[in-house]
Structure 1
Amino acid sequence: MTGNEFRFFLSCDINLPVTFRIERLEGNLPFPKSPNSESNGSAEDGTAELYVECALHIDGAPFGLPTRTRLESMGPSYCWNELITLTAKYRDLTAQSQLTFTVWDLSHGEGLIGGATIILFNNKKQLKTGKQKLRLWAGKEADGTFPTSTPGKVPRHERGELERLEKLVNKYERGQIQRVDWLDRLTFKTMEKIKERESLKNGSSHLYLVVDFCSFEHRVVFQESGANFVLPSPIASTNDIVIVWDPEVGKINPSEHKQLKLARSLTRGVIDRDLKPSSNERKSIQRILKYPPTRTLSGDDRQLLWKFRFSLMSEKRALTKFLRCVEWSDVQEAKQGLELMGKWETIDVCDALELLSPVFESEEVRAYAVSVLERADDEELQCYLLQLVQALRFERSDKSRLSQFLVQRALSNIELASFLRWYVAVELYDPAYAKRFYCTYEILEENMMKMGAGANGEEDGFKRWQSLVRQTELTAQLCSITRDVRNVRGNTQKKIEKLRQLLSGLLSELTYFDEPIRSPLTPGVLITGIVPSESSIFKSALHPLRLTFKTANGGTSKIIFKKGDDIRQDQLVVQMVSLMDRLLKLENLDLHLTPYKVLATGQDEGMLEFIPSHSLAQILSEHRSIISYLQNFHPDDNGPFGITATCLETFIKSCAGYSVITYILGIGDRHLDNLLLRNDGSLFHVDFGFILGRDPKPFPPPMKLCKEMVEAMGGAESQYYTRFKSYCCEAYNILRKSSNLILNLFYLMAGSNIPDIASDPEKGILKLQEKFRLDLDDEACIHFFQDLINESVSALFPQMVETIHRWAQYWR
């Protein structure tokens, strides 16, 4: 028996809806003659309008509402091939859960064809998967009581050769029978002949419904929620192998666990205080401390850290690793772990974020993390605010220490208050955590309304809260305008005219606000109205609005408002660009990045800061090269390529910065329309629909560096291109130093609904981790990154190599 026999999931752990696919009906329908069949014609021509009604029954009682498929009238082989997702989840099921299927014919009134019932778990308590062929009981509605009177499973004594073969095919499709291509082809060909022979011999005495149940990576075994054991199958008197599902299999060996308990005995505490690691043990500990936050500690790693826990208390980096090796289910060990945590050298803010991840459930540990966060200033806290709001998902209480901390800091900073309110408001759409986020929203509202006027003349809490509420009212009006503009028939110019007409007429109150509103993108700025003549619409499917707002200080603020697009992923990427820009500047490296502001105001709406710029596609179309475009704004006959040295330096630095960042974040779908260039030479990226290595185009190059960018630096042999590579390597090594911070922030986003993270959080974060090459030192990383650049650039220029050809195609 292979090790795979012992890999399984417990049904109580699967928080997914019950899903299956209703495929087709097999056999010939009996068409009853009806009095009005002549006028109807459906019975005469052999077609019918069929649908399948399916319902879940738990312990003989209906659970949830029945679900119907669409009508299918393409006879005689009726094929729905429709995916059905029930409201019930696998963890809700019991061992006696059944699905009922009843086929109805609407072409003869509400004619009943037949029904069948199938129990979801077999006699070994395993969830049934793959295709199931259910025999319908003609003229009977499916019975959901237990035991059922309409079992879909064909009795053993009635099974023919065809049923036996179909059962084997089901096992083959689930991977339980080895595939041998040449033999499989012969087998299936023979099976088709048997099927034809059986069909002719038996006629059409029975109807069958084929249903395909969802498959999992491993078998799913029934276990009630909260139970700590699974009843084994009754041992038969035959020689069959009996599989006993033991939940302990795959976990730590019981004898090893006992040995660890003895080795970690609390009575050894006095001895452990004086223990010092040897040279080899010290090297092993340093290796463990360099592990990324996503890596699980092995048994030996945990044992080593626990053994030398007292000598590690002065090493602040070791605290998060030590807390991972504490056996929190052991009351005494947990108590000692918390005592040591209180005496440990205080950790940095970036490491405290790790303690708010779902790995740490202890409320004391999470409260300690919050106490460390209290040392961060408002600017640093705002860098992590998006992730801290997501961390509320992992709190055990609706009124947690983290929630109270965020609200308290927001009360003293209107920008934090505005962003906290928006981040929380957007998460209210998630039904699983709506209550928790709503509680934080209520606490923020209640505390802000109680605030008095500030000592420096600031408005009181009520007025400040109302100014934030008016932001929501403004976005609701912008949504309405977007809908009205989309409904206008005609080209983009007609839609622009409609927009300006609305702002000047029916919605003229938006031209001059009764009271100034805090800008959602920059809450420190008060906006007083929209300028209709300077507002426009982008030419795209969603018709985003480009609006110019007047500000209280006499200036203007330009924003883009999008409705119909989830921009939460863009919001995350731009936040990371802003954070990385901050990290680089702290090391005195300014790469002239453009972290424009993005704010999601709903699941499918949001605002973006408008940065005056042109896409590389437009620039190359009108000016043929980047350099000739920049010569229009920064000409210098004595400068490199006829432009000022400052402009060229800005271009080189911004190219380097975004090349490194897009590589680390695995940003895909790069083309000349989403690379923008400002008049001062700053290049920046927009539109982040694909991140963490996902890309809709095949064969993406390692780095998103297009040929036109290299040509603007004088080509791959120029001194300016060498400077570009130098900036890339320097930026890469600086950001590698903060890899733990970046990984922790993404780890906190694991529970969010951001598409490229939600699809597979673990895989996405591992991809991000790989990009940092934590196995290399700084010098080795310089060589690695230079090779990466050279590899990507060589692919941009014509060479007779297939891979290079593919990468060149990527940019076309």
Structure 2
Amino acid sequence: MAPKGGRWKSTYHNPWQVPKNERGEIERLERLVNKYERGQIQHVDWLDRLAFSAIDKVKEKECERLENSFPSLVVEFCSFEHRVVFQESGANFYAPTPVSLSNELVTVWDPELGRTNPSEHKQLKLARSLTRGIIDKDLKPSSNERKSLQRIIKCPPTRTILPDEKQLVWKFRFSLMSEKKALTKFLRSVDWSDIQEAKQAVELMGKWETIDVADALELLSSDFKSEEVRAYAVSVLERADDEELQCYLLQLVQALRFERSDKSRLAHFLVNRALSNIEIASFLRWYVVVELHDHAYAKRYYSTYDMLEDEMMKMIAREDGDEDGFRLWQSLSRQTELTAQLCSIMKDVRNTRGNAEKKIEKLRQLLSGVHSELTHFDEPIRSPLAPTLLLTGVVPQESSIFKSSLIPLRLTFKTANGGTSKMIFKKGDDLRQDQLVIQMVSLMDRLLKLENMDLHLTPYQVLATGQDEGMVEFIPSSPLAQIISEHRSITSYLQKFHPDEDGPFGITAQCLETFIKSCAGYSVITYIMGVGDRHLDNLLIRDDGCLFHVDFGFILGRDPKPFPPPMKLCKEMVEAMGGTESQYYTRFKSYCCEAYNILRNNSSLILNLFTLMERSSIPDISTEENATLKVQEKFRLDLDDEEAIHFFQGLINDSVSALFPQMVETIHRWAQYWR
């Protein structure tokens, strides 16, 4: 109770609080130790050893006495040689929320989290000091350091270089200048915020062994902001011929997103090459037009488009063969008018009531009547799919539609050389993903042929003329589902076109070889690309035995069907090779493994191209956070060539023996039948 007229006096005693008189000696000794560590007490070795021994005994005695009476918490803080004078300014410490009995995670703000340690940063700067440049020129890596450097150089372009690896590359930068593969790793090791270091890096880059075009593509990614580095990459690209450049054109247009200048060196390069090659000019124009829908980067693309138009118009005054700049640009512009008219026709055909025959009749009426100007163009129009081909008009009676909800048009055009060209026009379908996959098929076909391996692939042309429209080259062929339904087997179908009583399975040896090689090529490519939704309706065969895939709505491992196999190898395909014990099936596996290793050796090029596409709005790439890593996983770069062969043979066996996909395929066939 409180005394009358006085204040309340607390008589409460905290059992967890150690009395001052009992902890005083320990605190006094701790303060003396801190002074000793800061150098405020003179160091005497023999006396110090005796003193610290006595302090330890006092601590042990005190801890034994207090152990049963009071709980203890020992917190050991960092010790510094000098007095700490730095203090975090503007720190906003959050008090932790009360901890419940449910083991909730408590978040406490740490001002040093994610920040560079000042002492480590200073040490790094001293180690990389530019004053050591003369000494570094004579440095040679030891045996272990050379192995570490080679391991870093061989890393895929997607791998992040660690700080100690960057330090190692910088240290031996002069000895690495003769290795062209090391330049990209060196440029990733540079601290571009340091003006002097960046200046020296640019100087060394100019003296480095010239890199390959595949590595130059890496320098055009979003990771490199330096205009000097990007200009150097363009100078390397200038060595590529037109055929090679077209393999990368789609990605180079995407690289314009990362340019810091509206009129960049890359944009000038693309426009100049377009002026000398009509195919590059046509495709560049369409790629840029499609990207103009992306408002975040529209200014960059408008700049390139305007530059292309201006340079084309400047060609009016001079003759280029039989066509001057104005007529050339006009021919490309009329491609847009043609697609607009086709969109209008498709709308009218869709609105026509009735079956497919009624819609086909309506299409031909429109082409012969309201849109009769399409049957004979006043001036030839360059084909959007093959710009070297001049189209003179549509043939109404040879045009039709496909039985699909989007009613794609199958159009036959007359050409200036007296032939015909067939193409499919789609509206309401995003073809940019198909365009990318076919570009990769074309690129991989080129890489394989450079190694004298022709797998008879069919990289047909696909061109997106908008985000929901485009054209596809029509290849005369039949779906496997139709072939099996009408001929019961692939073998019977091939016997119809290439019979040979003395040949394997009654087929000419060349036709069977073509079928086996094309199966191998697409098995490898669709596995690497992670193509999904494979069924017998999007696997087609040409009369010459070439098998190819269409409809790439699912890539990078996405698949609407559960438990998809690594690759599409249905039993009908294996039976056409003579079964799993046949020598032709063994040959098929051999082609697969050889092609897989060739493409693995070119993985850096393929990964760099995918990296440039990551900011695009292509469906499966924009929704996938690590699209490039998905592709990298398929290459299994951790294996050598022999291990990769065993790995891929295992994939083939798993795909052939998978039972669930066969059940799904049967269900799909019944669904198509009832539809």
TM-score range, shorter chain: 0.7 to 0.9
C-alpha spacing 1:657/1:251, structure 2 compared with 1 (3 Å): farther
1:200-349 matches, cutoff 5 A = 231-233=90-92, 243-244=108-109, 246=111, 249-349=113-213
Could you tell me which residue of structure 2 aligns to residue 553 of structure 1? 417
CA distance in 2, matches of 1:770, 1:283: 24
Q: Using structure 1 for the length normalisation, give the TM-score.
A: 0.69
1:215-614 matches, cutoff 5 A = 231-233=90-92, 243-244=108-109, 246=111, 249-452=113-316, 457-614=321-478
CA distance in 1, matches of 2:420, 2:601: 39
Could you tell me which residue of structure 2 aligns to residue 774 of structure 1? 637
Could you tell me which residue of structure 2 aligns to residue 809 of structure 1? 663
CA distance in 2, matches of 1:251, 1:530: 65
CA drift of 1:263 comes to: 1.0
2:444 corresponds to which letter in structure 1? M
CA distance in 2, matches of 1:552, 1:404: 33
CA drift of 1:646 comes to: 0.5
| Unpaired segments ≥5 residues, structure 2 | 1-87, 100-105, 667-675
C-alpha spacing 1:692/1:251, structure 2 compared with 1 (3 Å): farther
**Structure 1 residues 111-156: Cα deviation after superposition (integer angstroms, max 9, x where no partner):** xxxxxxxxxxxxxxxxxxxxxxxxxxxxxxxxxxxxxxxxxxxxxx
CA drift of 1:397 comes to: 1.1
1:783 corresponds to which letter in structure 2? H
Could you tell me which residue of structure 2 aligns to residue 660 of structure 1? 524
| Unpaired segments ≥5 residues, structure 1 | 1-228, 796-804
CA distance in 2, matches of 1:806, 1:454: 65
Query: Are 1:755 and 2:619 an aligned pair?
Result: yes
CA distance in 2, matches of 1:475, 1:388: 25
Could you tell me which residue of structure 2 aligns to residue 789 of structure 1? 652
Where 1:606 maps in the other structure, the secondary structure is strand
CA contact (8 A) 1:626 1:708 kept: yes
CA distance in 2, matches of 1:752, 1:233: 39
Where 1:547 maps in the other structure, the secondary structure is strand
CA distance in 2, matches of 1:650, 1:377: 30
CA contact (8 A) 1:647 1:680 kept: yes
CA distance in 2, matches of 1:709, 1:238: 64
CA drift of 1:787 comes to: 1.5
**Structure 1 residues 277-328: Cα deviation after superposition (integer angstroms, max 9, x where no partner):** 1111111111111111111101111111011000000000000000000000
CA contact (8 A) 1:232 1:244 kept: no
CA contact (8 A) 1:233 1:242 kept: no
CA contact (8 A) 1:407 1:443 kept: yes
1:612-761 matches, cutoff 5 A = 612-761=476-625
More strand by share: 1
CA distance in 1, matches of 2:285, 2:653: 46
Where 1:676 maps in the other structure, the secondary structure is strand
CA contact (8 A) 1:631 1:643 kept: yes
Where 2:219 maps in the other structure, the secondary structure is helix
CA drift of 1:271 comes to: 1.0
Where 2:391 maps in the other structure, the secondary structure is strand
CA distance in 1, matches of 2:89, 2:661: 53
Where 2:639 maps in the other structure, the secondary structure is coil
**Structure 1 residues 135-188: Cα deviation after superposition (integer angstroms, max 9, x where no partner):** xxxxxxxxxxxxxxxxxxxxxxxxxxxxxxxxxxxxxxxxxxxxxxxxxxxxxx
CA drift of 1:351 comes to: 0.5
1:706 corresponds to which letter in structure 2? C
CA distance in 1, matches of 2:95, 2:643: 62
CA distance in 2, matches of 1:424, 1:611: 27
1:602 corresponds to which letter in structure 2? G
2:197 corresponds to which letter in structure 1? E
Where 1:328 maps in the other structure, the secondary structure is coil
C-alpha spacing 1:511/1:264, structure 2 compared with 1 (3 Å): same
CA drift of 1:369 comes to: 0.3
Bigger-Rg structure (1/2): 2
Where 2:551 maps in the other structure, the secondary structure is coil
CA contact (8 A) 2:428 2:468 kept: yes
C-alpha spacing 1:244/1:649, structure 2 compared with 1 (3 Å): same
CA distance in 2, matches of 1:528, 1:332: 61
Equivalent pairs, count: 573
> Identity percentage over the alignment?
78
Select between 430-439 and 595-604 the one with higher mean Cα deviation: 430-439
1:791 corresponds to which letter in structure 2? D
**Structure 1 residues 203-236: Cα deviation after superposition (integer angstroms, max 9, x where no partner):** xxxxxxxxxxxxxxxxxxxxxxxxxx99443678
CA distance in 1, matches of 2:530, 2:601: 18
CA distance in 2, matches of 1:321, 1:451: 42
2:493 corresponds to which letter in structure 1? Y
1:99-114 matches, cutoff 5 A = none
CA drift of 1:706 comes to: 1.2
Where 1:557 maps in the other structure, the secondary structure is strand
Where 2:465 maps in the other structure, the secondary structure is strand
CA drift of 1:426 comes to: 0.2
Where 1:294 maps in the other structure, the secondary structure is coil
CA contact (8 A) 2:93 2:108 kept: no
